[in-house]
Structure 1
Amino acid sequence: MNKGFFYLWKTHYVTEMLQILLNYVDIVSFISYNDLVR
């Protein structure tokens, strides 16, 4: 396997995971914020 390709794939995969994680954190903080405001 091409090392450069593997590196690109890995960084892309990690970026995707980080994006999902950030979205999850956003939703959770949004929900807890609503709970506090209510």
Structure 2
Amino acid sequence: MAKKLGKSYHMVNPYAQNKRQPNLETLFEISKTLKVEVKT
């Protein structure tokens, strides 16, 4: 995931562990990578 987002493992890992929330831009990049919709 980190490689696909162009970010380091250390930046993305806290998102997976729910220790940090991504900003909206990153959230949309993640949703595009996972092919899921972002619900607001």
**Category of TM-score, reference length = shorter chain:** 0.3 to 0.5
- In our comparison, the structure showing a higher alpha carbon Rg is 1
The TM-score with structure 1 as length reference comes to 0.34
Report the TM-score when normalising by structure 2.
Answer: 0.33
Query: Where is the helix percentage greater, Structure 1 or Structure 2?
Result: 1
